[in-house]
């Protein structure tokens, strides 16, 4: 039996255009799919191999650049195990007109795509503010070993005018267990 709204989902799925990339067979499966393990279980946590932040940390720089460019003042950078900065990003959600253009999300995507599993686990993300839920999920899936943030979410909220947050959207569920479990069953084995 097809779940309610199946036609709508089919039409929505049909509107997605495939990205022009070589097939998985030619470029290998993504690192997280090869092991079928979460980054936390794939490698033991080795705190002895994380690089320390530099004496004059450059991590406020991407946030300042984002603000100077007309965007929200948030930025992040990655520090590899050897102490180098392989990537940095600022928030571009206004200039890109893209609500998910958070620097933490950009760098998590970059790390998952560009770093091998061992290097990612020994890489630290330094970020201007505590990552939001969306970015936290991406960071966890990217395999990065540690996140250090300058401002907590609570500290950030004290710097904002009252009532400037986003309204809560109610979420309801679980629903349709029998239908929803079918495509998921067996995937994580």
As beta bridge partners, residue 75 has 90
Token pair listed for 48: 């002895």
Token pair listed for 53: 């932040």
| Residue entry with tokens 């794939």 | 42
| Residue entry with tokens 């998985």 | 24
Element (H, E) at 112: helix 103-114
Task: Write the Ramachandran bin of 62: left for phi over 0, alpha for psi from -120 to 50, otherwise beta.
Answer: alpha
CA-CA distance, 128 to 165, in Å (whole number)?
A: 18
Catalytic (active site) residue 179: no
Catalytic residue among 104, 154, 172, 178: 104
Q: Are 107 and 78 in contact (CB under 8 A)?
A: yes
Strand order in the sheet with 124-129: 87-90, 75-79, 124-129, 146-151
CA-CA distance, 177 to 180, in Å (whole number)?
A: 5
CA-CA distance, 138 to 16, in Å (whole number)?
A: 21
Which are the catalytic amino acids? 104
């Amino acid at each position: 039996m097809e779940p309610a709204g199946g036609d709508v989902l089919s039409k929505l799925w049909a509107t997605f255009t495939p990205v022009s990339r070589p097939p998985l067979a030619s470029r290998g499966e993504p690192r997280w799919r090869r092991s079928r393990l979460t980054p936390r279980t794939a490698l033991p946590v080795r705190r002895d191999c994380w690089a320390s932040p530099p004496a004059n940390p450059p991590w406020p720089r991407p946030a300042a650049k984002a603000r100077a460019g007309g965007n929200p003042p948030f930025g992040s950078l990655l520090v590899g195990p050897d102490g180098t900065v392989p990537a940095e990003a600022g928030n571009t959600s206004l200039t890109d007109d893209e609500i998910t253009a958070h620097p933490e999300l950009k760098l998590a995507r970059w790390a998952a795509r560009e770093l091998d599993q061992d290097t990612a686990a020994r890489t630290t993300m330094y970020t201007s503010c505590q990552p939001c839920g969306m970015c936290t999920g991406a960071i966890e899936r990217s395999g990065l070993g540690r996140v250090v943030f300058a401002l907590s979410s609570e500290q950030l909220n004290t710097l904002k005018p009252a009532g400037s947050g986003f309204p809560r959207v109610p979420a309801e569920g679980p629903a349709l267990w029998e239908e929803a479990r079918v495509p998921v069953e067996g995937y994580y084995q």
